[in-house]
Amino acid sequence: MAKYLCPGCGYHYDEALGEPHEGFASGTTFADLPEDFFCPDCAVRGKEDFELVEE
């Protein structure tokens, strides 16, 4: 499972954990997030801005 970083605020999306507060169960891959996904912490950076930091 991979981890992705929001370059704006440092939030990490961890595929193993998902983001339950946003409705994404553990194991939800970054590719499976909707195209209109925005950082749940800063709401500034979109999915296309996130950087892969760990595979």
Angle, alpha carbons 40-20-12 (nearest 5°): 45
Q: What is the pLDDT averaged over residues 19-43?
A: 97
Q: CB count, 10 Å around CB of 22?
A: 12
Residue carrying the six token digits 């997030």: 33
Confidence of residue 49 (pLDDT cuts 50, 70, 90): very high
Helix (H, G, I), strand (E, B) or coil at 28: coil
Write down the pLDDT at residue 5: 98
Write down the pLDDT at residue 9: 97
Here the tokens at position 26 are: 């553990």
Q: What is the CATH number of the domain that holds 24?
A: 2.20.28.10
What's the number of domains the chain is made of? 1
Range of the domain at 7: 3-54
Rounded Cα distance between 54 and 51, Å, is 9
